[in-house]
Amino acid sequence: MQDHIYLTTEEAAGYLRLKERKLYELVADGAVPCTKISGKWLFPRAALDRWLEAGLAHPEGMLPASPPPIIGGSQDSLLEVAVRDSGCGLALLAEGSQTGLDRLVRGEVAIAAIHLHATPDDDEANPAAIRAEPGLFDAVVISFARREQGLLVVPGNPLGIAGVGSAVAKRARFARRQKGAGAQLLLNSLIEREPVPEQAMILAEGICATGQDLALAIRTGRADCGIASRAVATAFGLDFLPLVWEHVDLAMRRRTYFEPATQQLLGWMRGNAMTARAAELGGYDLSRSGTVRLNR
């Protein structure tokens, strides 16, 4: 229950053994985890504890627990190539953006690959999600790539689907991703803006864990359409109806950024091999790749 305890400014200052003026300075600098409700600052006690622990000096030979060398979150074709060809030694656990982010908060992965959607083409959705996590007070968000997302349909598009609303109107069966997957969040966001009720959507059986699983469901006839990247559509020989460009970002704690495995991956991303492989896969924009999008 401790995670749900919020302290006032006076209580937080006493808890941290600081003067309230010093605490306000930390708040102004964005250095301490807090939130503002109705003009008053509140401080999650559990987040304050983690903030204190992150700044502990550790005697020689006593190191803080490190997360396992895993990139959780979204599946991405170019990221799979980057991890393999860079030789960084990181493993991949593709379960969807929100699940990866949750695992990052709990320390179960070192990095989370995320593409979250508040609205279509929302460039700030990923950094905003990190800022909203008090436990990620020491997070860094690195741009991996921008990629094109769209509606995958059967080769030749026999139903004549022109977009999401058209697919609903034509009673096409939608392949689904799991709750919290970036592609599913995008679909939900898009369908809210269509002049058709969400209840009119026909959903194919089963849940597709990745974009590749979704493409296979369409390829084998279990579904008529679904949202995934252009790279996935190309790999599975499916027609692709472009919808949006989105950011795929790598979220991690600041100490993870400096780990050798992370630096090896980032080094590969800065080379010509990344550019060449992105061109082969199709649907990628690397103009911001490797840049810091957020440093808390």
| pLDDT number for residue 120 | 65
Residue 261: domain span: 65-296
pLDDT tens for residues 54-82? Answer: 665 555 554 456 899 999 999 999 999 99
The answer on 227 and 185 residing in a single domain is yes
Counted residue by residue, the chain has a size of 296
pTM above 0.85, yes or no: no
| pLDDT number for residue 204 | 95
| pLDDT number for residue 170 | 93
Can you tell me the distance from the alpha carbon of 7 to that of 70, in angstroms, rounded to the nearest whole number?
Answer: 34
* Beta pairing partners, 106: none
The answer on 277 and 181 residing in a single domain is yes
**88 lies in a domain?**
yes
Q: Is the Cβ–Cβ distance between 285 and 245 less than 8 Å?
A: yes
Q: Strands 91-94 and 111-114, how do they pair?
A: unpaired
Q: Which residues of the chain have pLDDT under 50?
A: 1-3, 62-63
| pLDDT number for residue 34 | 86
The answer on 31 and 157 residing in a single domain is no
| pLDDT number for residue 2 | 44
The answer on 75 and 50 residing in a single domain is no
pLDDT tens for residues 24-45? Answer: 998 888 788 888 888 889 988 8
Number of domains into which the chain is organized: 2
| pLDDT number for residue 140 | 95
Can you tell me the distance from the alpha carbon of 72 to that of 92, in angstroms, rounded to the nearest whole number?
Answer: 6
CATH of residue 269's domain is 3.40.190.290
**59 lies in a domain?**
no
Q: Is the Cβ–Cβ distance between 138 and 253 less than 8 Å?
A: yes
Triad 151, 157, 158: Cα angle to 5°: 140
The alpha carbon of residue 175 and the mean position of all alpha carbons in its chain are separated, in whole angstroms, by 20
